[in-house]
Amino acid sequence: MKLPGNMQAMMQQAQKMQEKLQGEVALIRVEASVGGGMVTVKMDGNKHVLAVKIDPEVAGDVEMLQDLVVAAVNEASQKVDQESQKKMGGMLGGMGLPPGLI
Q: For the whole model, what pTM was predicted?
A: 0.71
> CA–CA separation, 34 vs 21, rounded Å?
30
% helix / strand / coil in the chain, to the nearest 5?
A: 60, 20, 25
Could you tell me if residue 59 is inside a domain?
A: yes
Could you tell me if residue 39 is inside a domain?
A: yes
Could you tell me if residue 62 is inside a domain?
A: yes
Question: Residue 72: which CATH number?
Answer: 3.30.1310.10
Could you tell me if residue 37 is inside a domain?
A: yes
User: Which residues span the domain enclosing 63?
Assistant: 27-85
Q: How many domains does the chain have?
A: 1
Q: What is the pLDDT of residues 15-72, one digit of tens each?
A: 888 888 888 888 899 999 999 999 999 999 999 999 999 999 988 899 999 999 999 9
Could you tell me if residue 17 is inside a domain?
A: no
Could you tell me if residue 60 is inside a domain?
A: yes
